[in-house]
Amino acid sequence: MIKVSIAGGTGYTAGELLRILIHHPQVQIESVVSTTSVGVSLSSVHRDLLGETDLNFSDSIGSPDVLFLCLGHGISQKFLQKNDIPAKCKIIDLGNDFRLEPTFQNRTFVYGLCEQNKEAIKKADNIANPGCFATGILLALLPLANMKELKNEIHIHAITGSTGAGKKPGETTHFSYRDSNMSVYKAFDHQHLGEIKKTLSLDQAVSVPEIQFVPMRGDFTRGIFASVYTKWNGNMSDEEVITYYKDYYKDSPFVFVSDDNISLKEVVNTNKVLLHISFHNAYIHITSIIDNLTKGASGQAVQNMNLMCGFEETEGLHLKGSAF
């Protein structure tokens, strides 16, 4: 058993993390920190936890073996500066503070994309959990980068649910705007582009071509559907490319290449990634689907924790999907 604490305990990713960790056989929850809800029961904020736990929010992390940072982007560094974290405590940051600049204080953060960095994660003490868009997009493109076949401009359209915007309400997240609506945001300039380019460049060993990324807001709560395409100049047949993808992910317990078209509900509430590959007019087209709160955030964080702590990679992550 290990003791874990969560900082930033009232948000969506913290709630999802609690739902997983409460039933994780190797975990005891030490504390859940909130600056606004100290002494308040977890279930009064995360209502679905009523009957699951009698823990209250705390103002101290206690003495955890693993600390999850579920703080807003840019706040993790401030938290580490303000709080004295024992050197032996492992840290998993779900924000973006350490994805591009991995060294802070005396800690070095490993980029926590399990399908790419599994061996490094097993040895790591600090993890920068990937962004949700970055996770779905990178898993669509990493096999091509590994082939050294990312030679042409990459086009991405990806749509995310409202939980991707966080719990704090805003003009574009309230019901009357989001319902029966769709909109583009941060076109060609999304904050996840940096980690996508960096990761693909490392895997391909050369710089990647331009990435044209258009993110969109959807009228649903959970999930990301990414449509990714680029010109295909490789010497492999269509069937050989699909086989390559399947072989590339054969040791990745949550990534599956589907022979049929995929739809978002197939991954909601799970830690799975589904990919579908097709070819059209000299282009390769990859669709990729994840749940932004599980594989795109908290589920991937637990997957990282499992690898860091020597547990089975899938421990606590056999989650029931919602088929309808």
Per-residue DSSP letter, 232: -
The residues annotated with a catalytic role in the active site are: 132
On the question of pLDDT at 323 being above 80, the answer is no
pLDDT at 245: 98
The answer to whether 184 and 156 are in contact (CB under 8 A) is: no
Q: Is residue 100 part of a domain?
A: yes
Closest by alpha carbon to 37, among 66, 8, 79, 77? 8
Q: Mean pLDDT for the chain?
A: 94
254-265 average pLDDT score: 97
Give the C-alpha separation, 209 to 42, whole Å.
Answer: 46
How do residues 209-233 score in pLDDT, each as one tens digit? 999 999 999 999 999 999 999 999 8
> Does position 290 have pLDDT exceeding 80, yes or no?
yes
The answer to the question of residue 70 being in a domain is yes
Q: Do the domain assignments include residue 236?
A: yes
For residue 38, what are its two tokens? 């100290």
Name 93's bridge partners.
69, 128
pLDDT confidence of residue 311: 98
Domain count, the chain: 2
Q: Based on the number of CB atoms within 10 Å of its own CB, is 88 exposed (0-12), middle (13-18) or buried (19 or more)?
A: exposed
User: Please, which pLDDT band fits residue 206 given cuts at 50, 70 and 90?
Assistant: confident
Return the structure tokens found at 247: 């072989």
With tokens 């989650």, the residue in question is: 319
What is the predicted pLDDT for the residue at 254? 98
CATH number where 279 lies: 3.30.360.10
Write out the residue range of the structural domain in which residue 286 sits. Answer: 132-292
Same domain, 140 and 98: no
Identify whether the C-beta of residue 231 lies closer than 8 Å to the C-beta of residue 164. Answer: no
Q: Tens digits of per-residue pLDDT, 269-288?
A: 999 999 999 999 999 999 99
Q: Are residues 158 and 259 in the same domain?
A: yes
First to last CA, the chain: 36
Shared domain for 139 and 274, answered yes or no, is yes
Q: Which residues pair with 227 in a beta bridge?
A: 157, 287
Comparing C-alpha atoms, which of 301, 309, 314 is closest to residue 131?
301
Query: Which of 311, 303, 197 minimizes the C-alpha distance to 252?
Result: 303
DSSP structural state of residue 297:
I
- Rounded to an integer, the average pLDDT of 77-105 is 94
- CB-based burial of residue 163 (10 Å sphere; 0-12 exposed, 13-18 middle, 19+ buried)? buried
Domain match, 40 and 185 both: no
Backbone region of residue 67 per phi and psi (left: phi > 0; alpha: psi in -120 to 50; beta: other values):
beta
- Return the closest-CA partner of residue 245 out of 206, 274, 224, 211: 274
Q: Which residue type, as a one-letter code, is found at position 244? A: Y
For position 31, which CATH number holds? 3.40.50.720
Task: Report the alpha-carbon distance of residue 274 to residue 139 in Å, rounded.
Answer: 9
- At residue 14, the pLDDT reads 96
Confidence bin at 203 (pLDDT 50/70/90): confident
Which DSSP letter does residue 56 get?
B
Pairing of strands 154-160, 224-231: antiparallel
In a domain, 305, yes or no: no
Same domain as 179, residue 93: no
Predicted structure pTM score? 0.95
Give the separation between CA 303 and CA 232, rounded to whole angstroms: 33
Query: pLDDT by residue (tens digit) across 31-45?
Result: 999 988 999 999 999
- 307 occurs within a structural domain: no
Helices 132-146 + 238-248 axis angle, to 10: 120
Query: d(Cα 234, Cα 147) in Å, to the nearest integer?
Result: 9
Domain check: are 99 and 236 in the same one? Answer: no
Averaged pLDDT, 164-168: 81
pLDDT of residue 77: 95
